[in-house]
A and B are shown apart, each in its own frame.
Chain A
């Protein structure tokens, strides 16, 4: 197993380099450079001064050269400095990753806690009330844009009822405290969980339905054990693999893709940092976030493969 993980990690290196090249070139191809942004924000700036600024930022060099300079820095653990805030990129990400993980992990857990039972019930009793309800949730969750759900929730719960706050992690000027965090989490978590649930519910339903037709389920029933045990111990456990895959596939979305939700709820996470960095052509920050997300995706994938072999003893990597 250890050998397998090492092999996978080594294989991940070229993938990782490929991703960084792709993102580096793409972001450099976008019109406007960090120097242009600075020039625009500082009002009038002469052509010469702008050229000088570009040279000082190293933007006069060809993209290929700049990529290798960046890669060289990365190898020594330096993600560079943000051209927008002049902070080290690693420090910026470090500040943002906690809130992002809090939001996304809570959302995944909530989504799973609701979707798996609903999916299982939908599979046991197809076309029942619960099945229809779960279909409706899945349909609404998948097809409604999350900014719309966000605005509806903010309107109802923040503006009209005033139960849950709509901005940030804590009230302004407040020290970090758990109850306040929980209240601030409610709305963004609902938005993100609803979006994921459609996929999870349908995946669970389909997967359990398929497993329930297996012969070993009949064997389990023939043993005289309770139906609930047949469903959970024998069916769900076998149905978990596709569910785990489905959850795994949402990981990139979770880390980078909470962008809109974070933006709407002013959540101080990676997503909102990414939006700011892209709009100011903050190359180093964009690359830093890319590094982080791609590493996370690669590591999660390896973790999932290891998890598969735990879930299904037939899968072995020896």
Chain B
């Protein structure tokens, strides 16, 4: 554990401050990314819609933070905002800060953020079928990163890329360098994406549903690969998925998001042992289990409300089986419970 468990109920009590921050060990130097109070607004016509709000989390070196939630909960927005990957015409970071190595990414100029992108922080995308440019050879797409960030000769760059491809388990790597993306299978392409992301030995790897588009056997291989490389390079991983099974496999900490807000945060063991938020509980309950003999899988009723139809109170209130009048009126703050656990629900206040 990179972080010591320094929070206990007696000291901290129930922190009901709206801008709850995850407590960190002050002596711990391993925190590489500190996201504080992040809010992202999207432009919809002339209106602004808040996609994520009050998002706070930290990622430590060599640790994996999993972000889970269903489609549209703001997982990808969170990931993209760390690299500031959406164009200003689409949306903008309205509030908060993203501190990387003491510098706020939100305030960086375009050229400063470019130095970090693909170099210190890299990203793996969901669909390897569309994430590689179809008209350039694998080698060219890999080497491009090295040329962008390092003063390196073409020959050295080529060799480094070949080594990296071999490391991610691509056979005949030298040959593959000269092939086009369409000549590779989906699993191979995702390996190429991983190689691409790790080429510069980044501090942080953001994996945005990297296994969703792959079939299950390949999924397992890719997860294992990310795990191995994380250990080898001591990279911090931000792993985004909607698959609780994957989270259980790979994450050290889990952040559950619902409708653009954090509803629960805990260590992976803690979360699976004792899910507190009704949403988390529902998510875990809807995983099919081998030993259960049921006809229908458990589902959380309803859908995530649209951004312009968000309830005033708890955003989950429209779907929650424990919903009270208070939940509809007031927004529950993210409160610190014992250990690492944080939850945003009035049931635990």
Contact = CB atoms under 8 A, between A and B. Distances in A.
A220 B119 CA distance: 12
A225 B200 CA distance: 14
Contacts of B144: 223, 225
A215 B123 CA distance: 12
Interface in B87-117: 89, 110, 114-117
Contact of B135 (A223, A225, A311): A311
Interface string A213-233: 011101111111111000000
Given A224-B116, A224-B117, A314-B180, A219 B122 contact: no
Contacts of A226: 114, 148
Interface stretch (B24-32, B126-134, B164-172, B236-244): B126-134
Contact of A225 (B123, B131, B148, B182): B148
Decide if the interface of chain A is mainly helix, strand, loop or mixed: helix
B149 interface: yes
Given A221-B85, A224-B114, A314 B134 contact: yes
A91 to B, nearest CB: 45
A312 interface: yes
B133 A219 contact: yes
Contact of A313 (B118, B145, B182, B193): B182
Nearest to A311: B135
B76 to A, nearest CB: 11
B135 A238 contact: yes
A234 interface: yes
Contact of A222 (B122, B127, B182): B122
Contacts, number: 70
Nearest to A238: B135
B132 A216 contact: yes
A227 to B, nearest CB: 8
A237 interface: yes
Nearest to A312: B135
Contacts of A126: 89
A215 B124 CA distance: 11
B42 interface: no
Given A214-B130, A222-B118, A223-B117, A313 B135 contact: yes
Contact of A220 (B83, B115, B133): B133
Nearest to A219: B131
Nearest to A234: B133
B180 A313 contact: yes
A218 B83 CA distance: 11
B258 interface: no
* Most chain B beta-carbon neighbours within 10 Å: one of A218, A222, A225, A226: A222
Given A225-B148, A234-B133, A311-B135, A219 B125 contact: yes
A219 B125 CA distance: 8
Given A313-B182, A314-B182, A222 B123 contact: yes
B117 A222 contact: yes
Contacts of A224: 114-119, 145, 148-149
A269 B132 CA distance: 47
A238 B181 CA distance: 14
B213 to A, nearest CB: 11
B187 to A, nearest CB: 17
A237 B119 CA distance: 25
B281 to A, nearest CB: 34
A222 B132 CA distance: 12
A42 B126 CA distance: 80
Interface string A280-318: 000000000000000000000000000000011110000
B85 A218 contact: yes
7 shortest interchain CB distances as A-B pairs: A224-B117, A224-B118, A223-B118, A215-B130, A216-B133, A313-B180, A225-B148
Interface of B: 83, 85, 89, 110, 114-119, 122-123, 125-127, 130-136, 144-145, 148-149, 180, 182, 193, 196
Given A224-B117, A234-B133, 4 more contacts: A222-B83, A222-B117, A223-B144, A314-B134
15 contacts: A126-B89, A215-B130, A218-B125, A219-B132, A222-B123, A223-B117, A223-B145, A224-B114, A224-B118, A224-B119, A225-B114, A225-B144, A226-B148, A314-B180, A314-B182
